């Protein structure tokens, strides 16, 4: 997912280009906006964390670009492409190093396991939107 601040800054095209150039195939793509209730559900695993409220408000603050991506070793390779959660710690050449504003507003989301990728994909897309 390309997060609201990166969308508002006009980075969507460049981020998508980096993703496709890295060998990921688009299975699904959607321009949409989460309600606070939806953002809260998407990030439910973090509900006990101090930053949860801020995270939910931020993720509902504007449109996002949601995608399902396919590649061998996709979860690990995508996390490598996006870089560390905190852009100050993200490696050169990563999406977060280039586009993230802060640890909270860090430009992109990536699933952390195949299991969660399936859950998060189903959150945004019906089976008829996955090719
Ligand atoms: P990642 O997105 O790298 O998997 P996490 O799953 O740990 O990172 O956190 C989810 C999201 O919550 C982060 O991408 C970021 O937007 C936000 N976040 C994480 N840690 C903090 C923090 N300490 N302060 C503010 N926001 C945070
Ligand atoms: Mg995470």
Query: Using one digit for the tens of pLDDT, what is the confidence trace for 85-116?
Result: 999 999 999 999 999 999 999 999 999 999 99
Among protein residues, the one whose CA lies closest to atom 27 of ligand 1: 104
pLDDT tens figures, 1-58: 999 999 999 999 999 999 999 999 999 999 999 999 999 999 999 999 999 999 999 9
pTM of the complete model: 0.98
CATH fold, domain 4-129, is Alpha-Beta Plaits (3.30.70)
- Identify which ligand lies nearest to the alpha carbon of 6: 1
Q: Which of 71, 98, 103, 109 is catalytic?
A: 109
Helix or strand (DSSP H, E) at 42: helix 36-42
Place of tokens 């460049």: 14
Predicted local distance difference test score (pLDDT) of residue 58: 98
- The confidence score (pLDDT) of residue 20 equals 98
User: 109 an active-site residue?
Assistant: yes
Pairwise CA distance, residues 68 & 24, whole Å: 10
């Amino acid at each position: 997912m390309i997060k609201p601040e990166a969308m508002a800054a006009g980075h969507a095209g460049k981020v998508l280009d980096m993703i496709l150039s890295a060998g990921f195939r688009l299975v699904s793509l959607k321009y949409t906006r989460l309600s606070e209730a939806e953002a809260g559900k998407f990030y439910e695993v973090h509900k006990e964390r101090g930053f949860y409220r801020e995270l939910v408000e931020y993720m509902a603050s504007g449109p996002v670009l949601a995608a399902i991506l396919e590649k061998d070793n996709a979860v690990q390779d995508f996390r490598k492409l996006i870089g560390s959660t905190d852009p100050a710690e993200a490696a050169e050449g990563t999406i977060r190093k280039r586009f993230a504003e802060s640890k909270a507003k860090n430009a992109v989301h990536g699933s952390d396991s195949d299991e969660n990728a399936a859950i998060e994909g189903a959150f945004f897309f019906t089976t008829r939107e996955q090719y």
